Amino acid sequence: MSKLDASGTGAGAGTSTGAGTGAAGAAARPGSYFRRLSRYYLWFTLCFGLFLAALGILEQEGMPRQWIGHLYMFATIVLYATIGVVARTSNVSEYYVAGRRVPALFNGMATAADWISAASFISLAGTLYLHGFDALAYVMGWTGGYCLVALLIAPYLRKFAQYTIPDFFAVRYGGGNGSNRRGTTVRAVAVAATIVVSFTYVVAQIYAVGLIASRFTGVDFSVGIFLGLASILVCSFLGGMRAITWTQVAQYIIILVAFLIPTMWLSVKFAGNPVPQVAYGSVLPKLAQREAQLAADPREQEVRATFQARADAFGERLARLPHSWEAGKIEAQRQLDAARGRNASLGEIRNAERTLLSYPRTADEAERAWTAERAANLARAQPPEPHAEPFPGKTREESDIRRNNFLALVFCLMFGTAALPHILMRAYTTPSVHETRVSVFWALFFILLIYLTMPALAVLAKYDIYTALVGTDYTALPTWVSYWASVDKANPLISIVDVNGDGIVQLAEIAIDGDVLTLATPEIGGLPYVISGLVAAGGLAAALSTADGLLLAISNALSHDIYFKIVDPGASTQKRVTISKLLLLAVAFIAAYVASQKPADILSLVGAAFSLAGSTMFPALVAGVFWKRANHQGALAGMVAGFLVCLYYMLHTNPMLGGNVEGVWFDIAPISAGVFGVPAGMAVLVLVSLLTAPPPPETAGLVEHIRAPE
């Protein structure tokens, strides 16, 4: 790594100060630079393989599991810290855009690591496990979004050759001058959108870091969050985009190995084929047969009937509010008084106290809690849905609603992907527009290596659980169940309770959080613990790589677009970079605190970020490149309108945000709020632009410049 960045102080296009010899040398000798990078990462891959082999031998020799977890955590922190130290820089071009000299292949790997976040690595396979065909919307939407990036946005941003996405908005909608009043206003709105979107997304990544760190080191969840935060800061704080880029290439290698090994193992176990993308097709018919057996099993039906009865009981309570709440509170107090009056055991008294303390304090609180409990019990009362059946439903109307939500989610994820600031920033880091186009191709290729494997992992793990875990005696439960149940005792990631008292595990008695599936796959498949640690390291790499990019996007927007462009345009390059580093620290700790409060599940947070990004920024980005008539007033109105429509829909319909599901429009789920925000933003942008004065001639010249071939 030292040779890789020893001369990396050159400024790229769009800068006039701090030029060194590194970027010029890299540009003059792209072939040798590429070969040098390839050699370094081949050595890294070899050393990584030897590290895994050594841990495998140590496990066979009796090393405790917790020590293996600590070694993984220590090794990853040391690796990322080393790259951060070696790639440290105070040069503006290097800190913001890695000197604009990252080869297309490596930029594609870094982009893939930036993209394969905790939501992809940890949650997506679990979502496919839980929801089957419907969850393919995530794969299609996220992958399709990269096609939009390649075709509509990334090459033109590289031709623009600045540092941040608000830079583009300010110049394009400021009359060709990002420093005037109009440019400053648009820049400020774009910065606000960048912060809201990126902060929502980064909270999900840091939450995943805490989940993994707590599982594999034994520390408390909150401590795990701040432990992982050290890995993020030591890299991004020291070297900015340069350090993050080279770290993300290494992280992608870890992610790929960590995801493929357990999936290939399950593929060989159930299909006799080490290529899971091909093999799982032969497992799907077996899974469908097993699903039909479980749906007709009398013991399964008995358990589902129990959950239906519980749901009906909650329904009766809801129908009798507020009297049912008052009666329940009196009964809880009576139970406590009775336990104390007959000198019951301390444990029984404590249970009665906990019941009273956990009882809803108001009738409104009771309504929310009982509605959620009723919905949870109703969900568990349903028979297993066929994994491969598109849009299953009891009626044609229900099936149509699921299909419409599928298409709406694909829409939101595509347009959200094409507007995420931390992804679009990578377009600035390549040497040319051609390299940017090629790097997007490589990014898609590297992403697909993972995304085409995820449906296979979901099917293979589901078949393993349905055949091996279901039907097991409760006295012989596998150890991984107790491990994962104890990670978060307040909200267990997996729960298996003998509802019908027969001593045998039924499918309906299993409640599993989607976030646990990928991390538990090695243990589900019977692999050595060293592979479990590898998967955790992969999940950690996925979360950290995305968190690095997001935090840098936020801090750069604040330091470059607010501080340098608005507050102090005369600031020195050293001061600008220092301000960015301090802001990065502040944002990181705020995000860590929010994540420690466990505001929502990972995929919900990510879905909100994508809807907000697409609604706020996509219309203005695309219009800024392809429609010369789009003006300052239209961009501002479109961004604000898209954001407000999207935010209103989420707040109005998402129960976690105080909304009510009954308020949905056209039965579209809250996670797909962008399906209303994007058209609203585009319509308002077009309408206001047409009703107000056209932009000055300089704007048309800028559009022609960025669209002209190199």
Q: Which H or E run contains 395?
A: none
DSSP letter string over 317-343?
HHHTTTHHHHHHHHHHHHHHHHHHHTT
Angstrom distance (rounded) from CA 208 to CA 540: 8
Residue closest to 389 by CA, chosen among 406, 410, 377, 411? 406
Share of the chain above pLDDT 90, in %: 37
Looking from the CA of 510 toward its CB, the CA atoms found within 13 Å total: 26
What average pLDDT does this structure show over 311-315? 93
Q: What pLDDT, on the 0 to 100 scale, is given for residue 630?
A: 94
3-class state of residue 510 by DSSP: strand
pLDDT, tens digit, 9 for 90 and up, residues 405-421? 999 999 999 999 999 98
Q: What pLDDT, on the 0 to 100 scale, is given for residue 601?
A: 61
* 389 contact partners, CB below 8 Å, separation of at least 6: 132, 133
- The 10 Å CB-count burial string (b at 16+, else e) for 265-276 is bbbeebbebeeb
What average pLDDT does this structure show over 672-676? 94
Residue closest to 664 by CA, chosen among 677, 679, 678, 651? 651
Angstrom distance (rounded) from CA 516 to CA 372: 22
Comparing 15 with 282, the larger pLDDT belongs to 282
* DSSP letter (8 states) at residue 473: B
Of 210-214, 311-315, 336-340, where does mean pLDDT reach its minimum? 210-214
Residue closest to 356 by CA, chosen among 385, 323, 339, 332? 332
Q: What pLDDT, on the 0 to 100 scale, is given for residue 11?
A: 36
CB atoms within 10 A of CB 33: 20
- The C-alpha torsion from 242 through 424 and 104 to 40, rounded to 10°, is 30
Residue closest to 120 by CA, chosen among 385, 520, 381, 455? 455
Q: What pLDDT, on the 0 to 100 scale, is given for residue 662?
A: 82
For the cut 70, the answer to whether the pLDDT of residue 6 exceeds it is: no
| Band of residue 209 on the pLDDT scale cut at 50, 70, 90 | confident
Q: What pLDDT, on the 0 to 100 scale, is given for residue 176?
A: 57
What average pLDDT does this structure show over 88-113? 89
DSSP alpha helices (H): ranges in 627-691?
632-653, 674-691
Residue with tokens 């010899």: 21
Q: What pLDDT, on the 0 to 100 scale, is given for residue 607?
A: 77
* DSSP letter (8 states) at residue 173: T
CB atoms within 10 A of CB 620: 30
For the cut 90, the answer to whether the pLDDT of residue 518 exceeds it is: no
Mean pLDDT over all residues of the chain? 85
Rounded to whole angstroms, what are the CA distances from 334 to 327, 353, 356, 360?
10, 11, 10, 16
Largest CA distance in the chain: 88
**Hey, what amino acid is at 308?**
Q
Report the alpha-carbon angle 241-555-98, nearest 5: 15
For the cut 60, the answer to whether the pLDDT of residue 24 exceeds it is: no
The pTM (predicted TM-score) of the whole model is 0.85
Comparing 157 with 70, the larger pLDDT belongs to 157
Rounded to whole angstroms, what are the CA distances from 84 to 10, 81, 588?
18, 5, 17
Q: Could you give all domains of the chain from N- to C-terminal order, each with its CATH number?
A: 2-271+407-457+528-707 (1.20.1730.10)
Report the alpha-carbon angle 480-484-487, nearest 5: 145
In the chain, the N- to C-terminal Cα span, in Å, equals: 32
Angstrom distance (rounded) from CA 707 to CA 155: 9
Q: What pLDDT, on the 0 to 100 scale, is given for residue 283?
A: 92
pLDDT, tens digit, 9 for 90 and up, residues 472-509? 998 888 888 887 887 666 677 788 889 888 899 999 99
pLDDT, tens digit, 9 for 90 and up, residues 534-546? 888 888 888 888 8
What average pLDDT does this structure show over 241-270? 91
Q: In terms of C-beta density within 10 A (0-12 exposed, 13-18 middle, 19 or more buried), how is residue 379 classed? A: exposed
What average pLDDT does this structure show over 662-685? 93
Residue closest to 245 by CA, chosen among 425, 39, 495? 425
pLDDT, tens digit, 9 for 90 and up, residues 145-176? 988 998 889 999 988 888 889 999 999 998 65
What average pLDDT does this structure show over 594-618? 80
CB 295 within 8 A of CB 304: no
For the cut 70, the answer to whether the pLDDT of residue 525 exceeds it is: yes
